């Protein structure tokens, strides 16, 4: 599990495994959905900790970077593009443990909540 958390990108299958491991207390990370409120309401991964839409990025980015600076953070979105952009910005601003969910929710076969 620790190996998966040491990568830059994680696919849906491995994210599903990590979420199960976290439920058992075997992994620690924060899962942040960067889609919009309406997209989130249509369905989201079970296990999302925070919803931070990219349309309001400027309003939350700095605080979140500071709040989660010592945590492992996984960003997710619909296809992995927006979350990848957020990951890059966080990384270039000094966050050392930030992971992108590549493929996003459209490639996820685990539990989806509404």
Residue 81, SS3?
helix
Closer CB to another protein, 27 or 85, in the complex: 85
Cβ partners under 8 Å of residue 7, min gap 6: 99
Judge whether 10 and 102 are in contact, CB under 8 Å: yes
Residue 82 sits in the site that holds another protein (CB under 8 A)? yes
Residue 27, SS3?
coil
- Pick the binder of another protein from 22, 52, 78, 97 (CB under 8 A): 78
Residue 63 sits in the site that holds another protein (CB under 8 A)? no
The residue count of the chain comes to 114
Tokens at 64, concatenated: 């979140």
Tell me the closest approach of the beta carbon of residue 110 to another protein, in angstroms: 15
| Separation between Cα atoms, residue 89 and residue 66, nearest integer Å | 13
Footprint (CB under 8 A) of another protein, residues 2-61:
36-39, 42-43, 54-59
Tell me the closest approach of the beta carbon of residue 60 to another protein, in angstroms: 10
Residue 95 sits in the site that holds another protein (CB under 8 A)? no
Q: Which residues bind another protein (CB under 8 A)?
A: 36-39, 42-43, 54-59, 77-79, 81-82, 85-86, 106
């Amino acid at each position: 599990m620790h190996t998966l958390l040491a990568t830059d990108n994680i696919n849906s299958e491995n994210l599903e495994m990590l979420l199960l491991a976290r439920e058992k207390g075997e992994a620690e990370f924060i899962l942040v959905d960067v889609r919009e409120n309406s997209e989130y309401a249509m369905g989201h991964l079970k296990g999302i900790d925070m919803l931070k839409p990219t349309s309001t990025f400027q309003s939350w980015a700095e605080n979140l970077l500071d709040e989660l600076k010592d945590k492992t953070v996984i960003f997710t979105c619909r296809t992995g593009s927006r979350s990848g952009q957020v990951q890059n910005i966080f990384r270039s601003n000094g966050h050392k443990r930030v992971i992108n969910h590549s493929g996003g929710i459209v490639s996820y076969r685990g539990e989806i909540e509404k």
